[in-house]
Structure 1
Amino acid sequence: MPGSIQSLERAAAVLRLLAGGERRLGLSDVASSLGLAKGTTHGILRTLQQEGFVEQEPVSGKYQLGAELLRLGNSYLDVHELRARALVWTDDLARSSGEAAYLGVLHQHGVLIVHHVFRPDDGRQVLEVGAMQPLHSTALGKVLSAFDPVAHNEVAEGELAALTARTVTGSAEFESVLELTRSRGWGSDLEETWDGVASVAAPVYDRRRMPVGAVGVTGAVERLCDADGIRSRLVAAVRDCARAVSRDLGAGRF
C-alpha cells in the first residue's frame, strides 16, 4: 500500500493549525508549532496562498485561512438539499408576505436563483429559477457579499455597474452598505436593480454556521416600503424564514 505524501501532510497540518486557536499566525508561529524549518513552512504557506487556501494580512504579514476553503467546504451541501429544506418555509413566506419569495446561492460572480415561489395573487408571473442576479445591487446579492467571504471577494474584483439611478457604484460606499447589512442581519434593494422594485433578504446558514445562501422577497416599492424603508413586518418574516431554513440545515437556534 503506497505511503502518505509528506508535503500534503504538512500542508494539511498548516491548515488545521490556522483553523484553530489564534485567527492569524506569523511564519515563525506556524513553523515552531509544527516543528518545521522556516524555509519549508514559507514554501508551504506560499503555495497555499497561491491556491487561495491561505491569505496573508498585508500589514502584519500574518496568515489566515483563505476564502477558497469556504468555497470547497460549501460544495458538500448540495443545492437540491438546500432547496428541499427551504420549500415549506419559502411557501409560508410568500403566503404571509403576499410577495414573491426567492432562494439564491453564489454562482459565477452572481446570484443563482434556485427556488422561486410566486406571489399569491392572480397577476401574471414568470418562473425565475435558473436566472442570475447581480451581487452588488440585489438584496440577495448584498447578503451573500456581506456574509460570505468568497462572494465578497468576487464582487470586490468586479465592476459595480449602474443598473438604475439608485445603484451604489463606489467601492467605499458599497463596503458601508455591506457593513450595515452585517450589523442588522439583513439586506435590502430599493430600486437599485429595477425601477419600481424593492426586495429584502437574509442569510441562510448550514450546521457549521457557514453562509450557504440567502432568502428574500421581491415586489413593488409601494407594497414593500413605507416612509422608513422596507416594512418591518416583511423584514421580520424574511429573517424568520432564513432562521427556519438554517435550523433545518443544522445551524441550531440563533
Structure 2
Amino acid sequence: MFTNKGSKGWLKMAEKRKNINIRRTAQVLKAFSEKPKGWGVTELSSHLGLAKSVTHGILRALLEEGLLKKDKDKEIYTCGKEILKLALFFYSNMEITKIARPRIKQIVKKINETVLLIQYIDNKVVVIDKVVGDKPLQLGLRIGVGLPLLRGVASKIFLAFLPDEKVDNIISRNPDPQVDITKLKEDLKSIREKGYAISDEEIYKNILAVGAPIFNKDGKVEAVISTGGLSAIYKNLEKRDKVIKATLTTAKEISSQMGFLNWKW
C-alpha cells in the first residue's frame, strides 16, 4: 500500500494552523468580558500578544458575523447582537433560571421591586436573570453584568458558605480598598446565622439590597436571589421585614425544587 507522506504532512500542518486560529479567535472573544466598553486593534493586539494584522483579521471576521460591532468614529470594537443572542440562549437554558423565574415573578408581584438572580461563574459574580416591577424607578443592572467580589449581598452570600481557607484566598487575590476585612468576616458570620444578607449603598449609591442563598441538592450555593430598591424606602422597617421574609421564602422554595431539603431559617 502506497501513501503520500507529503500530502499527510500538509494536512497535519493545515489542521494545526486551523486549531491555532480557533484558539486565537477564542482569546479575542474572551477579552471582551474583561473590557465590555471595547477594544481598539492596537490595544487588543498588545493585550493578547498577537500581531496587529492577526488581531485585525479576527476582529473583521467577527464583525462580519455580527458577533462584534464597531464604533467608526472611535475605531473601537464592542460585543454585537449575535453575542447577546448566544448569551441569552445560554442563560435561558440554565436549569436554575428555568426553575427560579416563575418564583421570581411571584415575589416581584408582592414587593414591586427589581429582583435579580445571581451566580458565581468562573470567579465572577454575574447577574443571570432579572425581573422588574412596575415602578417608574427600577434598578438598572443588565443581565451579564459582573459585580464586585467582596461587596454586595450576592458576593457576601457566596463567600459566607465557602470554607474559610477559600474565602481568605479570594480576599487576598481581590483586594478592595472599600472593604473592611474585619467587618466583612463579621457579615459572613451573620449571614450564616440569619440566612440572608443586607447591603446599603455598598455598590450603588442610594440603593439597599436584600439577598438570600439558593442551595442545590449537594448543599452548595447555586445562586443568590437579590432584591434592591431605594434606601430611603427601606427605612420603613415594616417594608424591609416584608422584603426579607419574601426573599427568604422564595429562596427556600427554589432550593427545595433544586433538591435541597435542609433549610433551617
TM range (shorter): 0.5 to 0.7
Distance 1:138 1:151, change over 3 A: farther
Match status 1:234 vs 2:243: yes
In 1, the alpha carbon distance for the partners of 2:242 and 2:104 equals 16
Deviation at residue 125 of structure 1 after TM alignment: 6.2
In 2, the alpha carbon distance for the partners of 1:118 and 1:183 equals 29
Q: What is the TM-score normalised by the length of structure 2? A: 0.58
Match status 1:173 vs 2:197: no
Deviation at residue 141 of structure 1 after TM alignment: 1.1
Is the contact between residue 199 and residue 218 of structure 1 (CA under 8 Å) also seen in structure 2?
yes
Distance 1:123 1:193, change over 3 A: closer
Which one has the largest radius of gyration? 2
In 1, the alpha carbon distance for the partners of 2:166 and 2:206 equals 26
Equivalent in the alignment of 1:86: 100
**Which residue of the other structure, out of 219, 223, 234, is the alignment partner of 1:213?**
223
Q: Secondary structure at the match of 1:231?
A: helix
Deviation at residue 133 of structure 1 after TM alignment: 0.9
In 1, the alpha carbon distance for the partners of 2:104 and 2:255 equals 12
Is the contact between residue 109 and residue 155 of structure 1 (CA under 8 Å) also seen in structure 2?
no
Q: What is the TM-score normalised by the length of structure 1? A: 0.61
Q: How many residues align?
A: 170
One-letter code aligned to 2:183? E
Equivalent in the alignment of 2:196: 186
Is the contact between residue 139 and residue 229 of structure 2 (CA under 8 Å) also seen in structure 1?
no
Distance 1:176 1:127, change over 3 A: closer
**Which residue of the other structure, out of 133, 139, 147, is the alignment partner of 2:161?**
147
Match status 1:136 vs 2:189: no
Distance 1:120 1:252, change over 3 A: farther
Aligned alpha-carbon RMSD (Å): 2.4
Deviation at residue 155 of structure 1 after TM alignment: 3.6
In 1, the alpha carbon distance for the partners of 2:237 and 2:258 equals 36
Deviation at residue 212 of structure 1 after TM alignment: 1.1
One-letter code aligned to 1:223? I
Match status 1:99 vs 2:113: yes
Deviation at residue 145 of structure 1 after TM alignment: 1.1
Distance 1:89 1:253, change over 3 A: farther
One-letter code aligned to 2:255? S
Distance 1:137 1:244, change over 3 A: same
For structure 1, the residue ranges without an aligned partner over 5 or more in a row are 1-77, 163-168
Distance 1:103 1:173, change over 3 A: same
| 1:70-89 deviations in Å (ceiling 9; x for gaps) | xxxxxxxx971011110101
In 2, the alpha carbon distance for the partners of 1:140 and 1:253 equals 21
